[in-house]
Homo-oligomer: A and B are copies of this chain.
């Protein structure tokens, strides 16, 4: 996860949570300072997982699909992140006793680690996060 996707998603959701209107990808992109097409790509993921709603056509744009206090950051994370937090594994030598087993044990560990993070993020709602702004 050496990328900017989580930051982008949270930024988008924060903007939507603090505005009544539908926001266009161009407007959002102006706030984040990235390309509108990147915003639309991110919105596409958030939308397909029921976190935001988008409207096509003139006057279209995005809005939250549910109240900010019903959006857990763990849900945002789950939508954004696919790969394990702790990274990838090697393709070790199967002729080695350790090499043969380690990936299965590493993946178990990776799962435990991911779960710990999800548990933490499950204690914070988008509304909580937005309340930190002054």
In contact, A120 and B112 (Cβ under 8 angstroms): yes
Q: Is the contact region of chain A dominated by helix, strand, or loop, or is it mixed?
A: helix
A90 in contact with B120 given A1-B85, A2-B2, A2-B83 (CB within 8 Å): no
Task: Collect the chain B residues with CB atoms within 8 Å of residue A1's CB.
Answer: 1-2, 85-87
- What is the chain B residue whose CB lies nearest that of A109? B129
A26 at the interface (CB under 8 A from B): no
- Identity of the chain B residue whose Cβ is nearest the Cβ of A11 in the assembled complex: B102
Say if the beta carbon of A44 comes within 8 Å of chain B. no
Bound together, the chains give a CA A116 to CA B18 distance in angstroms of 28
Complex Cα gap A87–B14 (Å): 18
Given A7-B89, A88-B2, A113-B120, A99–B129 Cβ distance below 8 Å? no
7 contacts between A and B (CB under 8 A): A2-B2, A6-B87, A7-B88, A11-B90, A30-B96, A116-B116, A116-B117
What would 17 more interface pairs be, CB under 8 Å, given A4-B90, A31-B99?
A: A1-B1, A1-B87, A7-B90, A11-B90, A11-B92, A11-B98, A14-B102, A32-B90, A33-B91, A33-B99, A34-B90, A77-B86, A101-B134, A102-B133, A105-B129, A108-B132, A109-B129
